[in-house]
Amino acid sequence: MATPPSESLVALPPTLEREAVEAFCAHGAFPARVDASAVTRADGAGVALLWLLRRRGALVGEPAAAVAGAVRAFEAAQATVPAPRAEPNAGALTRLGQTVCASLARWGDAVRFLGETLWSLTHLFSGRFRWGDCRQAFVRCGVQAVPVMVLIGFLLGLILAFQSAIPLKLFGGQGFVGGLVGIALIRELGVLVGAILMAGRSGSAFAAELGAMKVNEEIDALETMGVRPVRFLVLPRVVAGTLALPLLALFVSFAGLVGGGVVMNVLGFSGNYYLHQLQTFVGLNDILGSFAKAFVFGFAVSEVGCWFGLRAGRDAGAVGTATTAAVVTGIVTIAVLEGVFSVVFYAMGW
């Protein structure tokens, strides 16, 4: 091997491979003169070392013809590599523009995903729709969610009745507690609470499932085989969520009405009087409006969960981030849609 760098001339060994290169570089600073005339064989690391020594003007003697040709080819390849360009410091206006463009690109991606999902609905009865996957998703996000929906709905009706009875008692209006509970549950709280629970339970599950498939490269495999992930994976989940939420909202509202009836009984009112209050204050428009909101909320929650799942990163942390984003965005979407429905129903006189 080469003599120490303190010598005036260092000779390289005939075989200049990785181990020999590491031993040569272990001395620290390169010597001023290196003799390469004995080199007859070199791998990539050896060729790179010879090129570096030649560039520094420390190479004395030429290696074998084959090795010298490899060094010249390596030098020509290095000449074609462009030098790194220093990025200018972006100003505040530039950073603002980049942020706006990135946000618009994400919105455009979301709108394109929504359009692809709506277009996939045309294949719902084409014979290629995966009804088996839709049934399984419906069981997970619908049937298995009934117990928690009933519990939350019952407690919601109980709390709402007790809390409304306190101020109404000041005006002698405790008899209207039943009507207040019925209107609040049927029109707003039943479907709203059901949608929020579905976003936390099923929307996160959709995002986690598709995110895990993204990490395992299953979605890439589907795209390689020419299968569209939206039609194959997203559509069954979206259809299941859209059909499940109206039924879940119905369970929440019914359980809440039962809770309100318990409070009315505690306050001294009969069950017939409570039913009469519900029939008086709750109309058909309230029920139809609630079902309309439930279908839209179910579609929105499922769509948001699937969208974040398909756009998750390729590590476990990214899957968790996508799941959290799906829940938060789903709840925000529900709040926005609730405001839109409130304005529309007010304009329609509902």
User: Given this model, what pLDDT does residue 3 score?
Assistant: 43
Within 64-124, residue ranges assigned H as helices are 65-80, 92-120
User: Given this model, what pLDDT does residue 1 score?
Assistant: 44
Q: In this structure, what token pair is assigned to residue 237?
A: 């989940």
Burial class (CB in 10 A: 0-12, 13-18, 19+), 288: exposed
Q: In this structure, what token pair is assigned to residue 291?
A: 């079902």
Q: Which residues pair with 59 in a beta bridge?
A: 34
Provide Rg for the chain, Cα atoms: 35
Question: Residue 342: in which H helix or E strand, if any?
Answer: helix 316-348
Contacts of residue 229, defined as CB under 8 A and 6 or more positions apart, other chains included, come to 219, 222, 223, 310
User: Given this model, what pLDDT does residue 2 score?
Assistant: 44
Cα angle 217-220-221, degrees, rounded to a multiple of 5: 90
Summarize pLDDT for 40-96 with one digit per residue, the tens: 777 877 777 777 777 777 777 778 777 777 777 777 776 665 655 555 555 778 778
| Residue 78 to residues 10, 67, 72, 205, Cα–Cα distance (Å) | 26, 17, 10, 50
DSSP structure string for 181-214: HHHIIIIIIHHHHHHHHHIIIIIHHHHHHHHHHH
Tell me how far apart the alpha carbons of residues 183 and 181 are, in angstroms, rounded to a whole number: 6
Summarize pLDDT for 155-198 with one digit per residue, the tens: 999 999 988 888 888 887 777 888 888 988 998 889 999 999 99
User: Given this model, what pLDDT does residue 5 score?
Assistant: 44
Tell me how far apart the alpha carbons of residues 200 and 209 are, in angstroms, rounded to a whole number: 14
Strands 15-16 and 41-42: parallel
User: Given this model, what pLDDT does residue 82 score?
Assistant: 60
pLDDT per 10-residue tile (average), the chain, 350 residues:
53 76 69 76 78 76 76 72 56 80 83 86 77 88 91 92 85 82 89 92 90 85 82 89 93 92 87 87 88 93 91 81 91 93 86
